[in-house]
Structure 1
């Protein structure tokens, strides 16, 4: 089963880094400096921020579908991150370092199935979810914190 994992585009987040901490707070966002790696997973580059790198922690609507599964959660974006361009079937290392919850959705945003990918074994869970032809896309979340990690689509 062919799949492609994608991060978020940088453009919606770039202006956040020019805001003051007070302005960020008004948007329920917080500026931080990464003090460990791993620890601050950037959703643009699908990489962990380097120690000393500026990141913004913000609330992001990753599932805008008008269904009971509409959802938003905290994400990190790193200041100078560039969108990742992964090959078909490529899983970024930050997704192998953490346990994942993978949630399969129909095209209309209704969740059909979900499973855990533990200890870096991501591909078998993706393949099992996509074995259902009604699963249009998968959202990956960090299993412990519940934060949105990445979008997985059929390739």
Structure 2
């Protein structure tokens, strides 16, 4: 079974790029200059940003379903990230190098299963979850801080 890993659509963040520190702070957003790699995983391109790049730390609603599993959390968005990751049958390095909490959701947005795996060993878990008829999509979260990483779907 084929799977697709998707980053976040950058269109939702275009209005934030280049805002002043004061304007960002008024929205509860912080700008950082990347000083280490790995360390600042962008959620649009799903890659660790390079030292010197700028990143926005903001709260993002990654699970908008009207269920008890509705969720928001802090994520990094690269200010220069413009191309949403769309990767088939492979995992980006930013996921492969970290422990991942994988969460399986049904079509109504209810969590029906979840498990932890080292990113390098995640593919069998993805395939097992997507083989279930009641699973509609998956969310990968960086397990250490619990931050949303990417959406995974059947192709």
Query: Which residue is 2:88 aligned to?
Result: 88
| 1:97 is the counterpart of 2:93 | no
| 1:73 is the counterpart of 2:88 | no
Q: How many residues were matched structurally? A: 155
Shift of 1:85: 4.2
Change (3 A) 1:138 1:119: closer
Q: Is there any run of 5+ residues in structure 1 with no aligned partner, and where?
A: none
Query: Which residue is 1:27 aligned to?
Result: 27
Deviates more, 1:93-102 or 1:81-90: 81-90
SS at match of 1:18: coil
**Alpha carbons 1:34, 1:40 under 8 Å: kept:** yes
Deviations 1:61-87 (A, max 9, x none): 000000000000000011111324444
RMSD (CA atoms): 1.1
Alignment of 1:29-68 (within 5 A): 29-68=29-68
Separation (CA, whole Å) in 1 of partners of 2:13 and 2:30: 13
Query: Which residue is 2:136 aligned to?
Result: 136
Query: Which residue is 1:117 aligned to?
Result: 117
**Alpha carbons 1:8, 1:83 under 8 Å: kept:** no
Shift of 1:119: 4.9
| TM-score (normalised: structure 2) | 0.96
| 1:151 is the counterpart of 2:151 | yes
**Alpha carbons 2:104, 2:135 under 8 Å: kept:** yes
Deviations 1:112-153 (A, max 9, x none): 000112151110110111121110000000001000000000
| TM-score (normalised: structure 1) | 0.96
Deviates more, 1:83-92 or 1:119-128: 83-92
SS at match of 2:36: coil
Separation (CA, whole Å) in 1 of partners of 2:109 and 2:86: 24
